[in-house]
Amino acid sequence: MAIRYGCFFSYAHGRHELMQRFKNALADALRCYLEPHFDNEDELFIDTEQLGGGDDLDHKIARAMCESVCMILIYTPKYEAHAYTRREHAAMRLLEAERAGWYPLPGHLIIPVIMTRHPDSLPPQITDSTFYVDFSHFTMATSDLKSNPDFLPDIEKMVSRIATHYHYQKNTRRPATTATNSCSPMSHPNGARRRASPSRKNEERHGPG
């Protein structure tokens, strides 16, 4: 499957401004610095931008993950509370295992970005990672991430990791067929397939709140 996106954004939706602002600020910064590395691919896949009313969520999200170089995991404590975000994480782990047979991975395909720390401890999917960035000092008063010296070094590290994987994947001859379950349409936890509507898209995917 051809590459269409640099990164798949995996995150729990928020109703209020802080979570929305963080996601948008991070997306703007990554787009800005990833663009020179890519040919015609989109820098990011973000569900609220690419999915529309009536879309088959399971199929389109599964396909977007398979067409993405990496995953950006925006970690907040509520990320762990949603079955769908946990499934996205598991699916990308399957993709990583598959792609490890294509080329020598220079690092994991999942890049955790900590927006809010858990009051007790970070989960294993963060602490077990060889690379993650801590943006938990982001507030509503934080200036533009694209030009903020407190965040730029980590933005540059993320871009470097994504670009490295991108060039490997673009230049690697892939097996003629791959049969990973990670590219199969992801179903709702109760087994029912889901179709989005504009008013329920976020709630169905990540639950209320």
Q: Is the pLDDT of residue 112 over 50?
A: yes
- The predicted model scores a pTM of 0.83
Lowest mean pLDDT among 121-125, 158-162, 181-185, 194-198: 194-198
Q: Is the pLDDT of residue 58 over 90?
A: no
| Three-state secondary structure string covering the chain | CCCCEEEEEECCCCCCHHHHHHHHHHHHHHHHHHHHHCCCCEEEECHHHHCCCCCEHHHHHHHHHHCEEEEEEEECHHHHHCHHHHHHHHHHHHHHHHHCCCCCCCCCCEEEEECCCCCCCCCHHHHCCCCCEECCCCCCCCCCHHHCCCCHHHHHHHHHHHHHHHHHHHHCCCCCCCCCHHHCCCCCCCCCCCECCCCCHHHHHHCCC
List, for residues 191-201, the tens digit of each pLDDT value: 333 434 333 34
- Supply the pLDDT for residue 41: 94
Domain count, the chain: 1
The answer as to whether 64 is a domain residue is yes
Domain, as residue range, for 75 = 5-172
Provide the CATH number for the domain around residue 137. Answer: 3.40.50.10140
- Supply the pLDDT for residue 120: 82
